[in-house]
Every structure is written in C-alpha cells, then in structure tokens.
C-alpha cells in the first residue's frame, strides 16, 4: 500500500483529492496538513511514501518544505501539485529533488499514475511543464562541454523514453529488436552517469538533451 499525505491550505482541495483517490487500488491517504510546518511534523511521525504538496501556503510554503525534505534526507518522495507553472520555480524544485510536478487541473488518472511511478523510483512531470524545462535549459559553451555525446539513435530512443514508451513499444516504433533498445538504454544510463530511467529524465532536463 502506497501511503500518501496531502499538504494544501485549502480544505476543499484536500477533500477533493481525498475523494478522487478514495477508490484507487493500492493508495491510502494517511494524513493531511494545511502548511509546511504541520506537514514536516507529520512526515517525521508517519514517514509516508508520497507527499502531494501545494506551493503557496502560510507558515512554511511548499518550496521551503521541499528543501527541508531534501536536506534532511527524508525517505518521502515529493510530487508538487500546484496552479503555478513558473519555469524558474520549477527548475529550483527539480534541483532540490522534487520527484514530480503536476498542475492542479490534472485528472485522477494522471495523479494516480504519478503516485505509482514516483513510488517506484521514477519521475513524473506534467507534459506542459516538461516541455518548458527542456526548452529553457541553459546551453552555454562551458555547459555544453560537460554534456556527454550521444548518437542520433540514442537521442531518438531517449526522446521516446521521455514520452514514457516501454522498451517493447520503442522497438516496435523504430522497427528494431528489443535487445537493441535495451543496449541503447544501458549505453544512455552509462553515458549520463545515472542508475535508472528516473535518472535519465533528470539528467536529460539538466543537460537539455532533447
């Protein structure tokens, strides 16, 4: 069972999310908080798997809470759920280790998908947000010199990974074998110095590879 805490200063929002997730198999809401300070106490007490976190709150806002979760190396993973899509703010949250970012107009299916993916160690960003991140990553000469060289085919496969296609789906789409896809995936993981698909997503955003 994936344990979830909802942090938002609007009771109506909390109740709406609770209702939305009430019949989602394998997901349990174990607590709610109206600000970051309340949430931090709850996180230390309950150690939830996932925190659905609003940003604009009194006492301690979502950005401050995200920073504390990251600096204190708490095991809870953070999915931001906000109306704000300001690029610099999102980039800062990514740097702090946020595992996902959804807009509040997201439907039930996307929220459930994000929770399950993040619980498994993957990242999940609203597609509008992901496009912004990739389109606005700095590309100075110094930064470019640090970016590993990837082949045209690896770049093609990387884009499909970011589009959330499975290895089987990529193989079918590109008319290549599953083994070839897995080889390219391993090469990308090695070149970018990461351990899994979640790392590929994070580094791709950081380096502006796609």
- Per-residue model confidence as pLDDT tens digits over 39-52: 999 999 999 999 99
Lowest mean pLDDT of 52-66, 92-106, 113-127, name the range.
Answer: 92-106
pLDDT at position 140 is: 43
Q: Note the helical H segments in the chain.
A: 11-21, 36-46, 62-71, 87-95, 108-119, 127-135, 141-146, 152-162, 167-174, 178-192, 197-207
The pLDDT tens digits for 183-201 are 999 888 888 878 888 778 8
Residue 143 has pLDDT above 60, yes or no: no
- Asked if 30 contacts 48 with a C-beta cutoff of 8 angstroms, the reply is yes
Say yes or no: do domains 2-125 and 141-207 share a fold: no
pLDDT at position 204 is: 78
Output the six-digit token pair for 119: 């619980």
Output the six-digit token pair for 76: 């809870």
Identify the CATH number of the domain defined by range 2-125.
3.40.50.2300
Angle, helix 87-95 to helix 197-207, in steps of 10 degrees: 130
pTM for the model: 0.64
If phi > 0 it is left, if psi is from -120 to 50 it is alpha, else beta; for residue 175 that is left
Sheet containing strand 124-125, strands side by side:
27-33, 2-7, 50-53, 77-82, 100-103, 124-125
Q: Which of 193, 24, 20, 22 is nearest to 116 (CA)?
A: 24
Domain ranges (residues) in the chain:
2-125, 141-207
pLDDT at position 191 is: 81
Q: CB-based burial of residue 167 (10 Å sphere; 0-12 exposed, 13-18 middle, 19+ buried)?
A: middle
Long-range contacts, stretch 187-193, CB < 8 angstroms, 24+ apart:
187/154, 188/150, 188/154, 188/157, 188/158, 188/161, 191/148, 191/149, 191/150, 191/154, 192/148, 193/148
The domain made up of 141-207 is a member of CATH 1.10.10.10: yes
């Amino acid at each position: 069972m994936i344990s979830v805490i909802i942090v938002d200063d609007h009771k109506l929002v909390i109740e709406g999310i609770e209702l939305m997730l009430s019949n989602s198999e394998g997901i349990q809401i174990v607590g709610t908080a109206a600000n970051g300070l309340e949430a931090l106490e709850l996180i230390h007490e309950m150690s939830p798997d996932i925190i659905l976190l609003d940003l604009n709150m009194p006492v301690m806002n979502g950005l401050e809470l995200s920073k504390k979760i990251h600096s204190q190396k708490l095991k809870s993973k953070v999915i931001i759920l906000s109306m704000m899509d300001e690029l610099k703010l999102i980039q800062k949250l990514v740097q702090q280790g946020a595992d996902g970012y959804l807009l509040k107009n997201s439907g039930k299916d996307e929220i459930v998908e994000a929770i399950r993916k993040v619980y498994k160690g993957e990242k999940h960003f609203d597609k509008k947000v992901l496009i912004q991140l990739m389109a606005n990553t700095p590309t100075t000469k110094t930064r470019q010199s640090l970016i590993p060289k990837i082949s045209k085919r690896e770049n093609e496969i990387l884009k499909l990974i970011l589009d959330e296609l499975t290895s089987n789906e990529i193989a079918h789409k590109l008319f290549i074998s599953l083994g070839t896809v897995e080889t390219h995936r391993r090469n990308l993981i090695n070149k970018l110095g990461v351990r899994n698909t979640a790392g590929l997503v994070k580094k791709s955003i950081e380096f502006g590879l796609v």
